[in-house]
A = this chain, B = another copy of it.
Amino acid sequence: MGTMADQISVMDPTLAREGRVRVVIEDVTPAVDGGRFPIKRTVGEKVVVEADIFADGHDLLSASLLFRREDDPRWTEIPLEPLVNDRWRGSFPVTQLGRYHYTLLAWADEFKTWCAGLAKKVEAGQDVTLDLLAGAALVEAAASRAAAADAAALRNWAIDLQSSGKPTLARVELALSEQLRVLMGRYPDRQLANTYPAELVVVVEPELARFSSWYEMFPRSCSPVAGQHGTFKDCAARLPYVAELGFDVLYLPPIHPIGLTKRKGRNNAITAEPGDFGVPWAIGAAQGGHKSVNPDLGSLAEFQQLVTRAKYYGIAIALDIAFQCSPDHPYVAEHPDWFRKRADGSIQYAENPPKQYEDIYPFDFETADWRALWDELKSIFIFWCEQGVRVFRVDNPHTKSFAFWEWAITEVKKAYPDALFLAEAFTRPKVMYRLAKLGFTQSYTYFAWRNTKWDITQYFVELTRTGVREYFRPNLWPNTPDILTEYLQTGGRPAFMARLALAATLGASYGIYGPAFELGEALPREPGSEEYLDSEKYQLRHWDLDRPDSLKDFIARVNRLRRDNPALHSDWSLRFHPVDNEQMICYSKQTEDRSNIILVVVNLDPYHTHSGWIDLPLPELGFEESQSYQVHDLLTDARYSWNGPRNYVRLDPQSVPVHIFRVNRRVRTERDFDYYL
């Protein structure tokens, strides 16, 4: 690795069009849509870059990977190594937040080619007198490119190579010496090098972008007193509970003043009753809009105190950013041209015919005043960053323009490179992927509706084994305030446990909407609906967190084992393994060095006990086929000694429908006992 003294001239893009450049660089990975969008990494990860690199003819090539921080014009250079079939590879570490650029440089390496030819000719007993002279010329030319001390050394080499006083074989040995190879490698002739025409970009985010455990909670329901509106102070009092459960992101639905006009009542009633608190997503009232807090929750200062207090517990507060307005939002009067008009001049409320949402005005992203609208919306993120918030869950980003998101996220990250954005887009796959490409840090997924082995396997292979993983980071939610799946409605406690375990182990990032989740809330508003009955979206709820049937201890245990096992901190190592029972799924994750291996088996049927034989690819896990090993169930603390790839598992949903094993390389023997020593 070194800095590139002479690269600037080589990087001249007109050079690549010169007819003399013979090296090709193509099919560079990773790259999203040919470099149109950045790839994503977190601090401390590395970027492994590969490319097809070749030239006409038989010349040997050399190639480098170049990288730099976006704000630093100086490239760092790392040599690429050839693999097979003209594929080359190199990697660089990303150690700081923000954006890095990377690209490739390759050239026909005349000295390398000359050395290889010389060796073959000598081996074949051919006369190499002229070859040695040619080599001396190459070394002399390198001297003219070299720093002073090296230049002198190279000139001496050149003299030796052509010295007729020395025996030919001695000169050949000099020519092929490691010392000359290293020296020449420092001063390659790169006049005709080819630089990959694009600078590719990697956005580097905090580790929380890759590994995070989310807990969604309505502040309105946090009061210890039933029927009383919760406050930021009540939220702060709830922090120890959230921390005990092991979550590191506490996500609050919108905390802004709620509109009065067309306010919805309990269970989404068209009209609110007196005393109804409305829907937090109907943002804006006389007290303010997206930069204000709902007075029922407290003051902005109290919110800041909550953020600070949460940090003490290692918890990041995530805000819900919903870019839409209640009819009472100050924007409506101040910027009527940010909204569409109906034929009678009134403002167009949200609709998806025949559904109408009269309490919500969407922004018109086709407005002629779009620049002012974009600036204002961006300033909302900046405002909350200034209050100490860095994590944003963005509501329905797929109903706002793509161009806006790309610009806004990039701009916010310029000021706050640690800001994270979770896209709450439940929509068509290509739209969800597009949002991730535009810059969203994490994305909601279809996980909630993937309940069969086939569905789960297909989906997670797509998310973790294809190019999708370069830009789309899944965040898995078994439930949300909008999604109470049929599986949870009907599956009871085993369903909640299975889905929690799946989310927490399939996904390095996952979340639950609580306390509804840990308390097993499963009643829909009406049959066939995925809406909760008496949803907190429309009313206060009072939750008994200490109910004996709460899953809080199970969840705490899962979150603790997630934290303790680095294999679960990333999704890329996920591999599914065969089980001869369609109701059971088996998969593993491991660290790159295989020092930590987690094996998960889940009974997907919440009603019946199932058993089956799993089949593990032992070599992929770093074991020999005949080796015995121990699997340690981190949920029950049971340990099993296994031997060979096929092993029997049995899971009773009425107890724990899941094994989360740590696979231990060594089985304890008598030598492991203390008294043996």
Contact of A56 among B56, B120, B371, B402 (CB under 8 A): B402
Contact code string A248-282 (vs B, CB < 8 Å = 1, else 0): 00000000000000000000000000000000000
Chain B residues, CB < 8 A from A85? 428-430
Nearest-CB distance from A62 to chain B (Å)? Answer: 16
Interchain residue pairs A-B with the least CB separation, the first 9: A133-B343, A124-B354, A120-B353, A117-B353, A130-B343, A19-B370, A57-B399, A134-B343, A86-B430
Q: How far is the CA of A22 from the CA of B404 in the complex (A)?
A: 9
Copies of this protein in the complex: 2
Given A19-B371, A401-B22, the answer on whether A116 and B342 have CB atoms closer than 8 Å is no
- The reply to whether the CB of A652 lies closer than 8 angstroms to some CB of chain B is no
Chain B residues, CB < 8 A from A351? 117
- Check A26 against B22 for contact (C-beta < 8 Å): no
User: 29 interchain pairs (CB within 8 A)?
Assistant: A19-B365, A19-B374, A19-B403, A19-B404, A19-B407, A20-B365, A22-B366, A22-B401, A26-B33, A26-B430, A34-B34, A52-B430, A54-B430, A56-B365, A56-B398, A56-B399, A86-B428, A116-B353, A117-B353, A120-B353, A121-B354, A124-B354, A126-B354, A126-B356, A130-B343, A131-B343, A133-B343, A137-B343, A192-B366
Using CB atoms, name the residue of chain B closest to A52: B430
Chain B residues, CB < 8 A from A192? 366
- Check A130 against B24 for contact (C-beta < 8 Å): no
- Check B398 against A57 for contact (C-beta < 8 Å): yes
Contact code string A219-260 (vs B, CB < 8 Å = 1, else 0): 000000000000000000000000000000000000000000
Contact code string A54-95 (vs B, CB < 8 Å = 1, else 0): 111110000000000000000000000000011000000000
Nearest-CB distance from A274 to chain B (Å)? Answer: 28
Which chain A residues have a beta carbon within 8 Å of chain B's beta carbons?
19-22, 24, 26, 33-34, 52, 54-58, 85-86, 116-118, 120-121, 123-124, 126, 130-131, 133-134, 137, 192, 342-344, 351-354, 356, 365-368, 370-371, 374, 398-404, 407, 428-431, 434
Q: How far is the CA of A402 from the CA of B26 in the complex (A)?
A: 13
Using CB atoms, name the residue of chain B closest to A197: B36
Chain B residues, CB < 8 A from A123? 354
Using CB atoms, name the residue of chain B closest to A53: B430
Chain B residues, CB < 8 A from A126? 354, 356
Nearest-CB distance from A483 to chain B (Å)? Answer: 20
- Check A434 against B366 for contact (C-beta < 8 Å): no
Using CB atoms, name the residue of chain B closest to A434: B24
**19 extra A-B contacts, CB within 8 A, seeds A19-B407, A26-B434:** A19-B370, A20-B365, A20-B367, A22-B366, A26-B33, A54-B434, A55-B402, A56-B401, A56-B431, A57-B398, A57-B399, A85-B430, A86-B431, A116-B353, A120-B354, A123-B354, A130-B343, A134-B342, A192-B366
Chain B residues, CB < 8 A from A403? 19, 21-22
- Check A342 against B130 for contact (C-beta < 8 Å): yes
Chain B residues, CB < 8 A from A86? 428, 430-431
- Check B54 against A366 for contact (C-beta < 8 Å): no
Q: How far is the CA of A57 from the CA of B401 in the complex (A)?
A: 8
Q: In this complex, which of A34, A55, A121, A366 has the most chain B Cβ atoms within 10 angstroms of its Cβ?
A: A366
Nearest-CB distance from A162 to chain B (Å)? Answer: 9
Using CB atoms, name the residue of chain B closest to A398: B56
Chain B residues, CB < 8 A from A19? 365, 370-371, 374, 401, 403-404, 407
Chain B residues, CB < 8 A from A430? 26, 52, 54, 85-86
Q: In this complex, which of A354, A356, A368 has the most chain B Cβ atoms within 10 angstroms of its Cβ?
A: A354
Using CB atoms, name the residue of chain B closest to A33: B26
Given A134-B342, A354-B120, A354-B121, the answer on whether A20 and B366 have CB atoms closer than 8 Å is yes
Using CB atoms, name the residue of chain B closest to A126: B354
Chain B residues, CB < 8 A from A366? 20, 22, 192
